[in-house]
């Protein structure tokens, strides 16, 4: 298992990045939040393009609507702009509260995928990357960040999730 | 009192329906979001378990745990858990800092409403109730006892009862050929207790620790029962959720004002959430603690990871320890952060905060109104902004908190107290 480490500086840079507008969630639900927030948190499920358009990521929590302060797993299915699954390279998944300037209080672990006997040459079949140990311990806006390094190069994206 | 949950189920069902235009609530009405918040804060049914403690839920172990929680014989100086966790004060002691064999560095927290875990103590340095229960026994400023002393007491006074629940006392304890007092004491390796501990055989040390663990698991199993009882607030929520926005008269108008502040503008619910009004997490409030050097959760997380009594340790009965596995002791916001206390019966457990430095609830609300002090280290939880509450608002919040009062469950009182209690008129 590889410890997930992302520099706070790098993360701060994406704090201002735009929220994805390609989510599975309709806009109606989100706009309604301004007037009167929905009763339940939305599912933490999004489909997002990375900033330079190199990759598309289908991100999903398991369970899809995590409870406040509960541990949960996440998966990111990554394909490049030609539709090829990103099975090798690096995908980093993280979440932080930019307005509170803090990340998760846990130290999530990225699943290494299927590796050879030496633990090298790991492959994420179908471009599915998983991490365990996510926890959103406070209500409010969390920014989920996704960094992909694949054959086409490095690219990143983020989206906002409202924990309630 | 309504204790069934049909309203909750109805509410959950609403969440799956297509979004409908939100009607503007009447003055005394509740929005869907507020109804969800109320439902979240209502006391839930059901007993708490503890995967690390195979005696959780074991009636005989619980009864022993009840005896030992109140037993002053478990320490040489005559202190018990209840010396500080006094049931008549909702398991607190009305003192700023705990005083027993000495004066502790922190305020005595209640044991009511802490059962969800996953962390125990103000700094979360234990991840089970039984591991928590061990700490004060071996603290020289609290019970000032030690595991070897406890093993002697069990052999001399409780052997039969112990063996009925936990199996035979280990040979090394049964033989009794142990120093009167001994324990590991990393803080004072030259001290008598630690030296006596080093003088014991490995078998003796293991035997003594085993008995100490079992005694603690009994106490932990007992403490799992110390959940708050339903309060007027819960009856209020039931009434609201079953269609009476006035809440059946269970809360005064002032208390309802306080509740609306609590879940609304004051946003207390940001951290005081769930049926026990705690997020079970750690926050640095920047309390007025001149001269403090208490790193809180930072130290607590490291100590937990190093403890042989944690979920992954040899004495735990758990098969998986997810919380511990993902614990990040280097999380920056752990610095001088302390666990959010539960709020049920908070009106009866003054003084407040981990250092016991705020005398009354009004002082707490005044602190949140002004945030006059800065953290001695780290930074204040950024979600905190001065609330600028006026006197009427502070008073309404206290009125609301008063609606969380309930009596201590009889099953966690000492046996004789229940027997001697006057019959209900
Ligand atoms: Cu936050």
pLDDT < 50 regions, chain A: 1-38
B139-156: string of b/e by CB count within 10 Å (b at 16+)? bbebbbbbbbbbbbbbbe
Give me the pLDDT at residue B332, please. 84
Cβ(B113)–Cβ(B277) below 8 Å: yes
Per CB-CB distance under 8 Å, the chain A contacts of B280 are 69
How many domains are contained in chain B?
2
Residue B264 covered by a domain: yes
Share of chain B above pLDDT 90, in %: 85
Domain edges within chain A? 2-22+41-139
Instruction: Give the CA-trace dihedral at A29, A33, A34, A37, to 10 degrees.
Output: 150
B415 pLDDT band, cuts 50/70/90, is confident
Residue B339 covered by a domain: yes
The residue from B173, B199, B223 where one domain ends is B223
Residue B325 covered by a domain: no
pLDDT in tens, B60-112: 999 999 999 999 999 999 999 999 999 999 999 999 999 998 999 999 999 99
* CATH code, B239: 1.10.760.10
CA A48, A50, A53, A56 torsion: positive or negative? Answer: negative
Residue B256 covered by a domain: yes
Give me the pLDDT at residue A101, please. 85
Give me the pLDDT at residue B421, please. 55
B417 pLDDT band, cuts 50/70/90, is low
Comparison of pLDDT for B425 and B241, the residue scoring more: B241
Domain limits at B346? 32-43+231-296+335-411
B124 and B243 together in one domain: no
Peptide bond before residue B8 is cis, with ω within 30 degrees of 0: no
B235 and B219 together in one domain: no
Q: How many cross-chain Cβ pairs, A to B, lie less than 8 Å apart? A: 81
| Alpha-carbon span A129 to B366, nearest angstrom | 48
DSSP code per residue over B259-317: HHHHHTTT-GGGTS-TTTT--S-EE------TT----BHHHHHHHHHH-TTSTTSTT--
Residue B24 covered by a domain: no
Q: Which one-letter DSSP state was computed for residue B355?
A: T
Residue B7 covered by a domain: no
B391 and B407 together in one domain: yes
Per CB-CB distance under 8 Å, the chain B contacts of A69 are 279-281
Cβ(B260)–Cβ(B252) below 8 Å: no
What spacing in Å lies between the alpha carbon of B125 and ligand 1's midpoint?
22
Residue B80 covered by a domain: yes
Cβ neighbours of residue A5 closer than 8 Å, sequence gap 6 or more: none
| Alpha helices, H only, chain A | 8-13, 27-35
> Does the pLDDT at position B56 exceed 90?
yes
Mean pLDDT of B188-215: 97
B176 and B286 together in one domain: no
Comparison of pLDDT for B50 and B15, the residue scoring more: B50
Per CB-CB distance under 8 Å, the chain A contacts of B328 are 104-107
The residue from B223, B250, B284 where one domain ends is B223
| Alpha-carbon span B96 to B4, nearest angstrom | 39
> Does the pLDDT at position B264 exceed 80?
yes
| Alpha-carbon span A59 to A74, nearest angstrom | 7
The token pair at B243 is 């269609």
| Alpha-carbon span B200 to B194, nearest angstrom | 10
B89 and B119 together in one domain: yes
pLDDT in tens, B140-151: 999 999 999 999
Q: How many C-alpha atoms does B133 have within 13 Å on its Cβ side?
A: 30
| Alpha-carbon span B23 to B364, nearest angstrom | 36
B141 and B199 together in one domain: yes
| Alpha-carbon span B18 to B178, nearest angstrom | 70
pLDDT in tens, B294-337: 999 999 999 999 999 999 999 999 999 999 999 999 888 899 99
B419 pLDDT band, cuts 50/70/90, is low
What spacing in Å lies between the alpha carbon of A138 and ligand 1's midpoint?
5
| Alpha-carbon span B345 to B273, nearest angstrom | 15
Give me the pLDDT at residue B413, please. 95
The residue from B223, B242, B258 where one domain ends is B223
Residue A46 forms beta bridges with which residues? A59
Give me the pLDDT at residue A139, please. 87
Cβ neighbours of residue B5 closer than 8 Å, sequence gap 6 or more: B45
B121 and B155 together in one domain: yes
Per CB-CB distance under 8 Å, the chain B contacts of A140 are 270, 383
Q: Inter-chain contact A40–B328, Cβ cutoff 8 Å?
A: no
Mean pLDDT of B134-140: 95
Give me the pLDDT at residue A17, please. 36
B354 and B404 together in one domain: yes
Mean pLDDT of B192-204: 97
Give me the pLDDT at residue B420, please. 57
Point out the residue among B11, B19, B383 whose CB comes nearest to the CB of A100. B383
State the DSSP H helix or E strand holding residue B209, giving kind and residue range, or none if neither: helix B202-223
B236 and B371 together in one domain: yes
Residue B2 covered by a domain: no
CA of A164 to nearest chain B CA: how many angstroms apart? Answer: 9
Cβ(B165)–Cβ(B196) below 8 Å: no
B161 and B257 together in one domain: no
Per CB-CB distance under 8 Å, the chain B contacts of A38 are 15, 19, 32-33
B416 pLDDT band, cuts 50/70/90, is confident
The token pair at B325 is 């596995």
CA of B407 to nearest chain A CA: how many angstroms apart? Answer: 28
**How would you class B377 by CB atoms within 10 Å of its CB: exposed for 0-12, middle for 13-18, buried for 19 or more?**
middle
Give me the pLDDT at residue B22, please. 44
Mean pLDDT of B12-20: 36
Stated pTM of the model: 0.85
Q: Across the beta sheet with A71-80, what order do the strands follow?
A: A2-3, A109-110, A128-135, A71-80, A55-62, A45-49
Mean model confidence pLDDT for chain A: 80
B199 and B292 together in one domain: no
Chain A residues touching chain B at CB-CB below 8 Å: 28-29, 32, 35-40, 68-69, 71, 99-109, 132-133, 135, 137-140
B237 and B185 together in one domain: no
**How would you class A109 by CB atoms within 10 Å of its CB: exposed for 0-12, middle for 13-18, buried for 19 or more?**
middle
Give me the pLDDT at residue B21, please. 43
Give me the pLDDT at residue B58, please. 97
Mean model confidence pLDDT for chain B: 91
């Amino acid at each position: 298992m590889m410890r997930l480490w992302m520099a706070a500086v790098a993360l701060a840079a994406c704090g201002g990045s735009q929220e994805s507008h390609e989510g599975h969630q309709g806009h109606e639900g989100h706009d309604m939040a301004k007037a009167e927030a929905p009763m339940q948190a939305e599912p933490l499920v999004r489909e997002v393009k990375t900033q330079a358009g190199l990759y598309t990521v289908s991100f999903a929590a398991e369970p899809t609507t995590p409870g406040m302060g509960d541990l949960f797993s996440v998966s990111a299915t990554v394909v490049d702009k030609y539709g090829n699954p990103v099975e090798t390279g690096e995908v980093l998944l993280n979440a932080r509260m930019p307005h509170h300037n803090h990340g998760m209080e846990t130290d999530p672990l990225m699943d290494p995928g299927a590796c050879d006997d030496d633990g090298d040459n790991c492959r994420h079949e179908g471009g599915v990357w998983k991490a365990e140990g996510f926890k959103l311990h406070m209500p409010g806006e969390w920014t989920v960040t996704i960094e992909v390094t694949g054959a086409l190069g490095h690219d990143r994206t983020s989206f906002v999730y409202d924990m309630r | 009192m309504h204790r069934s949950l049909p309203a909750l189920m109805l509410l959950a069902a609403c969440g799956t329906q297509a979004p409908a235009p939100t009607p503007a609530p009447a003055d005394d009405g509740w929005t869907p979001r507020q109804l969800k918040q109320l439902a979240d804060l209502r006391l839930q049914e059901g007993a708490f378990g503890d995967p690390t403690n195979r005696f959780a839920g074991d009636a005989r172990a619980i009864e022993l745990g009840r005896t030992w929680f109140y037993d002053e014989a478990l320490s040489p100086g005559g202190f018990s858990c209840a010396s500080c966790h006094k049931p008549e004060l909702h398991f607190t002691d009305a003192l700023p800092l705990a005083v027993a064999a000495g004066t502790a560095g922190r305020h005595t927290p209640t044991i009511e409403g802490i059962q969800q875990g996953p962390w125990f103590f103000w700094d979360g340095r234990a991840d089970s109730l039984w591991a928590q229960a061990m700490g004060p026994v071996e603290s020289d400023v609290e019970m000032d006892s030690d595991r070897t002393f406890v093993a002697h007491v069990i052999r001399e006074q409780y052997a039969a009862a112990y063996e009925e629940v936990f199996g035979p006392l280990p040979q090394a304890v049964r033989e009794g050929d142990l120093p009167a007092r001994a324990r590991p004491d990393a803080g004072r390796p030259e001290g008598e207790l630690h030296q006596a501990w080093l003088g014991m055989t490995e078998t003796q040390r293991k035997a003594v620790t085993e008995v100490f663990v079992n005694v603690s698991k009994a106490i932990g199993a007992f403490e799992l029962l110390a959940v708050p009882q339903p309060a007027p607030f819960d009856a209020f929520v039931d009434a609201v959720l079953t269609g009476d926005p006035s809440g059946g008269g269970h809360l005064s108008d002032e208390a309802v004002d306080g509740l609306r502040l609590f879940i609304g503008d004051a946003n207390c619910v940001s951290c005081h959430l769930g049926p026990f009004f705690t997020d079970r997490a750690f926050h640095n409030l920047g309390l007025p603690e001149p001269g403090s050097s208490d790193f809180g959760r930072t130290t607590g997380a490291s100590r937990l990871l190093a403890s042989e009594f944690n979920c992954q340790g040899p004495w735990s009965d758990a098969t998986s320890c997810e919380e511990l596995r993902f614990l990040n002791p280097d999380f920056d916001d752990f610095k001088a952060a302390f666990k959010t206390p539960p709020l049920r019966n908070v009106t009866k457990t003054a003084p407040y905060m981990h250092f016991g430095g705020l005398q009354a609830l009004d002082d707490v609300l005044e602190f949140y109104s002004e945030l006059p002090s800065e953290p001695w280290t780290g930074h204040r939880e950024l979600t905190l902004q001065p609330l600028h509450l006026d006197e009427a608002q502070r008073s309404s919040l206290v009125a609301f908190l008063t609606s969380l009062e309930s009596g201590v469950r009889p099953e966690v009182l000492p046996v004789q107290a229940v027997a001697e209690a006057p019959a209900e008129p």
